[in-house]
Copies of this chain bind each other. A is one copy, B any other.
Amino acid sequence: MISSLELARQCGISQGTVDRALHNRPGISAKTREKVLRMAKRNGYRPHPAARELLTGQSLTVGAILPTVNNVFFMDLFNELARALAKQNLRLQLTPVENRDAFLEMLEDFTARRYRLAVVIPPEDNIAVPRAITVGIPLISLFSPCRGSGIRFLSADEEETGRDAVRYLHRRGHQRILHLTYARRAYAIAARAQGYKEQCEELDLTSKVLLNVDAINLREALQRYRPTALFCHNDWMALRTMVLLSEIGLRVPEDISVLGVDNSPTLAALQPGLTTLAYPLASIVDTIMLILAEKPSRLNLVRYLLVERSTVRKLTGQPRREKKSHDQKIQTHRES
């Protein structure tokens, strides 16, 4: 790796002139510029990002943290984000972390490195982020909130998602709807279950939530509650449920209906027939890019909680849809 000073020596000129050539700045003869560019190419010259970052105090990297839990939906999201960032000449640095300590440690590192932005999926809910970090880097938390000033929390309206699911199934004639979800205490999980329960009450349906589905408790719940539909927290759990149902000997959708959430492209490849609620993944990425486009000074002042679906729309410039949007949102490759 050659330095710009070394390059200047090889060309027999000064470092300043080399800089003018490399950055297309005025005040240099065409001949000299050409020569510098030729030599640079020949030597495979690349500016040292560390030096530039040190000088400018700004990095061209966006840091991302995700739990080591292997979640295909998270990967779909970050792949999308990486693509969007690449277009703006920014890189995404992904780091898997196992726990709260590693999470905060990584955030400190991002701050010290002057990353442009941190986009995180916290390994736990409500982690308290020290002020030293929040003043140092704009922070967007996805799916699960963090505690701390100026942190943006980006999420779909999970309660409404839960309600949507119940309404959709009820309209299809279902009366006994079971909700399958995780025992983990996380915002998205709790809120979605809450919406499910509330909507069930409004429609005079009995609600029942099953945590951490397995062969035994699923079988038991099926016998006890005789549900005609299963509303699963996400596509992954829907898939697992379908596998279990097939072992039990129940067919989907003839014997029982299964509804997932996410519309994960990766899982769609595995099980194209899955019925699922589409998660506004593209909106999330769009919103992140919008936040990034703002001036850093303004970033630390604004704070909003994207728990209202309309907020997402406003940010991404989409018009508020009419009532029937509920149906449009539902991807039905196979009716369930």
Contact = CB atoms under 8 A, between A and B. Distances in A.
A83 B54 contact: no
Please state the number of chain copies in the assembly: 2
A5 interface: no
B270 A239 contact: yes
Interface of A, helix, strand, loop or mixed by DSSP: helix
Interface stretch (A86-94, A179-187, A306-314): A86-94
Interface stretch (A73-81, A166-174, A287-295): A73-81
Interface stretch (A24-32, A41-49, A149-157, A315-323): A41-49
A13 interface: no
A67 to B, nearest CB: 9
B95 A94 contact: yes
B130 A44 contact: yes
Contact of A54 (B54, B79, B239, B242): B54
Contacts of A50: 49-51, 53-54, 59, 113-114
B70 A266 contact: yes
Nearest to A70: B266
Interface stretch (A104-112, A120-128, A139-147, A201-209): A104-112
Contacts of A47: 112
Candidate in A79, A92, A106 with the most chain B CB atoms within 10 angstroms: A79
A69 to B, nearest CB: 9
Contact of A93 (B46, B49, B51, B95): B95
Contacts of A108: 46
Contacts of A240: 269-271
A49 B86 contact: no
Contacts of A236: 270
A302 interface: no
B92 A92 contact: no
Contacts of A243: 242, 270-271
11 contacts: A46-B112, A50-B50, A54-B54, A68-B79, A68-B82, A70-B72, A82-B95, A92-B96, A94-B94, A240-B269, A243-B271
Which 7 residue pairs across A and B have the least CB separation, nearest first?
A: A44-B132, A94-B94, A50-B50, A70-B266, A46-B112, A50-B53, A68-B79
